[in-house]
Structures are given as C-alpha cells and as structure tokens.
Amino acid sequence: MRWAGWHRGSVAQQAISEHDISQISSPPIPRTSTPGNTSKKGRSEVTHNRFISKIETVAKELVDYLNATRFIYSLLSLRSI
C-alpha cells in the first residue's frame, strides 16, 4: 500500500476506526507514468508555494498550462512526437 504518511498516523487511524471508514489501496503509479509526471509538472509550475484565494482562477491557469505544454511519454516503446 502506498498512502501518504499522515494516513497511517495515530490520529488519522483513530478517526478512521471511529467513523467506520474503509481504506482502499490501489497499486502505486510508476514514477515514469504520464499521468504522474503531468500532474507533478502542473503542480510545480502552477500551484507550488502559492496562496490560492480563488480556485476557479488557478483551475483555469492549470488547464491552460496543460493545454500549452507538450509532455514526453512512451507506451510499449512507442514515443510521442
């Protein structure tokens, strides 16, 4: 299981058991995955170390960044142009 460290903390575990919350684990995303790299680059370029007062503005900036940026990926040894 690959969860953020705070999900395993005592306070989080107590809240999870008190509220009968089920935790579902998914396989880790490889660090070389296109979705993982895309979201990491988007966060670092648009939202990193920034106070977000209006989410709509930042969401538009993130969409604009993603649409304007060419991401390199490979799938089954095929590469993007």
Domain count, the chain: 1
**Domain range for residue 68?**
5-79
Where do we find the tokens 């709509």?
A: 56
Residues 59, 33: Cα–Cα separation, whole Å: 22
In the beta sheet, which residues pair with residue 78?
75
Nearest to 3 by CA among 31, 29, 38: 29
Q: How far is CA 20 from CA 2, 10, 23, 40, 46, in A?
A: 20, 15, 10, 32, 36
Return per-residue pLDDT of the chain as tens, 81 residues.
Answer: 455 655 667 887 888 889 888 877 666 656 566 677 788 888 889 988 888 889 999 999 999 998 998 877 666 555 555
pTM for this predicted structure: 0.49
